[in-house]
Amino acid sequence: SHSLVLYFHVLFLVMGEDTNQLRDLLLGLCLRTRRKSFFAIAAKTYFLPSSSANPSPQCDLANGWMTYGSNCYKFKSDTRKSWTSARHDCVADGADLVSITSAGENQFVTPTGISMWMGGHDSMTEGGWEWTDGSPFRFIHWNAGNPDDYYGEDCLSMLINNGYWNDDNCEYKRGYICKRRGEK
Ligand SMILES: [Ca+2]
Ligand SMILES: [Ca+2]
């Protein structure tokens, strides 16, 4: 796979410093192909933690953002998107899909109406779960029997009411939760 690495190295140089764009491209390729290891090599080489830092010190409450701890959250329960489209919408809003790092945070975001997408995925390496915003994947809250990779489920959704997690079909259209860091 030396030629593959060389190919992405050239691509990296061509795209200059826009590593976010390259990371999204690689993530998209991992989601669309079964040959994960093929693209994971390049992805791991250039996959930098994404920057969802919020330069503003407060959450934009007037536009539907909510505050929990030092972060801002927006619940998109009126629209349905695939995991990739949902993530793009969060990124366009200066955020990322939500990451969960504590039981309190999990409880805060637990939906009541419909299942919601979160930022967890194992599309790079099967079973290697990670958050799109680069948070450590330490706190876990799997529903019984999951993750089961049922027909290749690689994207993380949260079940209604109990807040347990399901590895889910990335193409399903669901509501979603965006999060951005609200520190000064
Ligand atoms: Ca999986
Ligand atoms: Ca599952």
* Residue pLDDT, tens place only, 9-37: 777 777 765 666 777 777 887 787 766 77
Predicted local confidence at residue 55, as pLDDT: 47
CA of 81 from ligand 2 middle (Å) equals 18
Q: Measured in whole angstroms, how far is the alpha carbon of residue 172 from the centre of its chain?
A: 15
| pTM of the shown model | 0.74
- Could you report the per-residue pLDDT of 99-151, keeping only the tens digit for each? 999 999 999 999 888 899 999 999 999 999 999 999 999 999 999 999 999 99
* Per-residue pLDDT at 183 exceeds 60: no
Amino acid sitting at position 157: S
The three-class DSSP label of residue 31 is: helix
Ligand nearest to the CA of 152: 1
Single out the residue of 49, 90, 81 nearest to residue 177, CA to CA. Answer: 90
pLDDT confidence tier of residue 41, bands split at 50, 70 and 90: low
Q: CB under 8 Å to 115, separation ≥6 — which residues? A: 157, 158, 159, 160, 166, 168, 174, 175
CA of 147 from ligand 2 middle (Å) equals 5
CA of 16 from ligand 1 middle (Å) equals 31
Ligand nearest to the CA of 126: 1
**Domain over 61-181 is classified CATH 3.40.50.300:** no
For the chain, the domains span 2-46, 61-181
Angstrom CA distances, 53 to 31, 56, 58, 96, 182, stand at 25, 9, 12, 10, 7
Cβ count within 10 A of residue 110: 17
